[in-house]
């Protein structure tokens, strides 16, 4: 048995029993990276020296009897979270030389818990995309079929977890960017409630929607990481002063009587037949575990994608204004200030980022603001209300994570609208700010993973994890590994 195939919980017990060392794990993961990274290309920056140094420190801590909850566990970090002294590019040319002099709150918390940084993972540039094809550097491949994309924007993190190039990873999710790649790569991806995890040090795409969460090999590891990264942070005004329960304590509790809502709007045309079948089977599995399925309606779902692409691009157009070549990042020479700005941004940003900046600039413009931005905010309120109404009758909502399994590289790059629809089932969750998790629930006839999405009430990640764990333990899907 190779150590790189294991999860956090298993490695933790082995470390506690002193059967293995942190250096062993680090060596195993790096051996795996050397073997498969050439075909997967999950990382923008691998950090072998740093990882070894951190693993040695972990071994010292363990020897001194002060093992921490992540001592010696190699974790991959999406390249939009700032790591002090380590290149943080957002997979953008404009930040291709950016080394932050500060640490994001999430990675600070991982550091306090003794983690080992395996490297910074690839993503769609500034997290804008659903396939990782918008990376300014290279495309990551799906470990289940390297002719296909891993999903996005956290495609590097999801692929690294699925290919065992790390033990677990952090991703960020603005419209589905954790859940959709987790679904495409056959791993567990959790987007916590907006405000549950600090965004300090997360390079902003759309501030009112962005949320960091774990991508893991199983539900237990998801709970372990969520315990560590959650909680109020005085450096992020939008992080909520809400108590953080021990999310691992609910794992294993039975789900008899749990009411799971099935929204009719999510099972209509456009959904792949095999995906629908797998999700229906999963619902039956929940029933057999004692859960009660309830037909529900989320009537404004049809407006979610449109509202999302107005709000997210509006915020992005402003968030990305700071990349002007003046202070850091790439600067192009120009004959005057305006030309320097224009050339720097023209050369530094990729096509999708430019498209979204233009769209967002337009929707915020005087004369259009009312028709677009304000209207979209109103739609957002209606969508939030949909969920609140639904949660009066049910404890959780079950949907497919994505209407299809992973698509082929290049299949949707010429059609942004088709690409945007890959997030049709995940976007509402961000607009409403509620938590969502994707867990493996089957495979297509072509052996591609299918994801099941569970959606919970605000700050009720515990119920999500409890139900996801019960489901996972009653199935074998999470045990399959891609043949690499």
Partner 1 sequence: MKYEAVIGLEVHAQMLTDTKIFCGCSTKFGSEPNSQTCQICIGMPGVLPVLNKKALEFAIRTGLATNCTIASYSRFARKNYFYPDLPKGYQISQYEHPICEHGYIEIVVDGTDKKIGITRIHMEEDAGKNIHEGGGNYSFVDLNRTGVPLMEIVSEPDMRTPSEAVEYMKKLRAIVRYLGVCDGNMEQGSLRCDANVSVRPVGQKEFGTRAEIKNINSFRFVEKAIEYEIKRQIKVIEDGGKVIQETRLWDSNKGITESMRSKEEAHDYRYFPDPDLVPITVEQTTIDEIRAGLPELPDAKRKRFVSDFGLPELDADLLTSEKTVAEWFEEAVKAGGQPKAVSNWMMGELMRLLNEENRSIENCLLKPEQLADMLVLIGKGTISGKIAKTIFTEMYKTGKDAGVIVKEKGLVQISDESAIEKAVDELIAKHPSEVERFRAGEEKLLGFFVGQVMKAMKGKANPQMLNDLLKKKLSS
From the list 28, 108, 131, 153, the catalytic residue is 153
Q: Which of residues 63 and 346 has its CB atom nearest to partner 1 in the complex?
A: 346
Distance CA 441, CA 187 (A): 10
In the structure encoding, which two tokens stand for residue 301, read together? 């779902």
Q: Min. distance of Cβ 242 from partner 1 in angstroms?
A: 13
Sequence-distant (≥ 6) Cβ neighbours of residue 134 within 8 angstroms: 91, 124, 125, 128, 152, 153, 350, 351, 352, 353
Residue 119 β-bridge partners: 46, 76
Q: Which of residues 430 and 466 has its CB atom nearest to partner 1 in the complex?
A: 430
Q: Which of residues 55 and 77 has its CB atom nearest to partner 1 in the complex?
A: 77
From the list 104, 135, 177, 344, the catalytic residue is 177
Distance CA 300, CA 305 (A): 10
Q: Which of residues 167 and 316 has its CB atom nearest to partner 1 in the complex?
A: 316
Task: Give the strand order in the sheet containing 436-443.
Answer: 43-46, 116-121, 74-78, 168-173, 211-216, 188-191, 436-443, 449-455, 396-400, 259-263, 292-296
Q: Min. distance of Cβ 118 from partner 1 in angstroms?
A: 20
Distance CA 116, CA 71 (A): 7
Q: Which of residues 222 and 314 has its CB atom nearest to partner 1 in the complex?
A: 314
Parallel, antiparallel or unpaired: strands 449-455 and 436-443: antiparallel
Q: Which stretches of the chain bind partner 1, using CB under 8 A?
A: 80-82, 88, 90, 95, 98, 100-102, 104, 199-204, 206-208, 234-238, 314-315, 317-318, 320-324, 326-328, 337, 341, 361, 364-366, 369, 373
177 is catalytic: yes
Q: Min. distance of Cβ 193 from partner 1 in angstroms?
A: 15
Helices (H), 128-218: 155-162, 179-185
Residue pointed to by tokens 């999903």: 151
C-alpha distances in Å from residue 76, one per residue of 2, 4, 120, 157, 383 = 18, 13, 6, 6, 33
Q: Min. distance of Cβ 369 from partner 1 in angstroms?
A: 7
Q: Min. distance of Cβ 322 from partner 1 in angstroms?
A: 5
**Residues with catalytic roles:** 78, 153, 177
């Amino acid at each position: 048995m190779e150590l790189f195939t294991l999860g956090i919980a298993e490695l933790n017990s082995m470390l506690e029993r002193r059967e293995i060392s942190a250096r062993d794990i680090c060596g195993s993961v790096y051996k795996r990276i050397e073997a498969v990274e050439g075909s997967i290309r999950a990382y923008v920056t691998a950090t072998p020296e740093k990882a070894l140094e951190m693993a040695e420190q972990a071994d010292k801590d363990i020897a001194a009897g002060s093992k921490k909850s992540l001592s010696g566990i190699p974790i991959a970090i999406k390249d939009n979270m700032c790591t002090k002294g380590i290149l943080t590019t957002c997979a953008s040319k404009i930040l291709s030389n950016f080394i932050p002099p500060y640490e994001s709150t999430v990675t600070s918390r991982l550091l306090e818990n003794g983690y080992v940084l395996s490297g910074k993972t690839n993503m769609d540039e500034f997290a804008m995309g659903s396939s990782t094809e918008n990376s300014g550097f290279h495309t990551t491949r799906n470990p289940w079929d390297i002719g296909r994309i891993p999903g996005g924007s956290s495609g590097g993190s999801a692929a690294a977890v699925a290919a065992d190039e790390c033990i677990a990873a952090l991703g960020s999710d603005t419209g589905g960017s954790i859940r959709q790649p987790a679904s495409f790569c056959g791993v567990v991806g959790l987007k916590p409630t907006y405000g549950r995890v600090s965004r300090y040090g997360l390079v902003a795409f759309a501030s009112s929607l962005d949320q960091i969460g774990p991508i893991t090999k199983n539900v237990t590891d998801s709970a372990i990481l969520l315990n560590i990264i959650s909680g109020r942070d005085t450096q992020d005004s939008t992080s909520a002063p809400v108590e953080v329960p021990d999310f691992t304590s609910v794992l294993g509790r039975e789900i008899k009587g749990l009411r799971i809502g099935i929204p009719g709007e999510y099972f209509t045309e456009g959904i792949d037949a095999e995906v629908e079948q797998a999700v229906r089977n999963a619902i039956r599995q929940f029933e057999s575990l004692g859960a009660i399925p309830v037909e529900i309606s989320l009537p404004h779902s049809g407006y979610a994608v449109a509202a999302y692409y107005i709000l997210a691009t509006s915020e992005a157009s402003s968030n990305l204004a700071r990349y002007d070549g003046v202070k850091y990042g790439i600067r192009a020479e120009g004959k005057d200030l305006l030309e320097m700005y224009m050339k720097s941004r023209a050369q530094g940003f990729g096509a999708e980022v430019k498209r979204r900046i233009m769209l967002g600039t337009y929707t915020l413009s005087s004369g259009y603001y009312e028709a677009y931005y304000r209207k979209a905010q109103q739609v957002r309120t209606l969508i939030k209300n949909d969920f609140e109404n639904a949660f009066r009758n049910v404890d959780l909502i079950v949907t497919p994570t994505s209407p299809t399994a992973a698509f082929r590289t290049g299949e949707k790059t010429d059609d942004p609208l088709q690409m945007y629809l890959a997030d049709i089932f995940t976007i509402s969750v961000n607009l409403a700010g509620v938590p969502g998790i994707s867990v493996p629930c089957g495979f297509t006839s072509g052996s591609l993973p299918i994801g099941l999405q569970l959606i919970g009430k605000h700050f009720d990640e515990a119920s999500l994890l409890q139900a996801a764990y019960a489901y996972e333990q009653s199935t074998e899907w999470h045990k399959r590994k891609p043949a690499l």
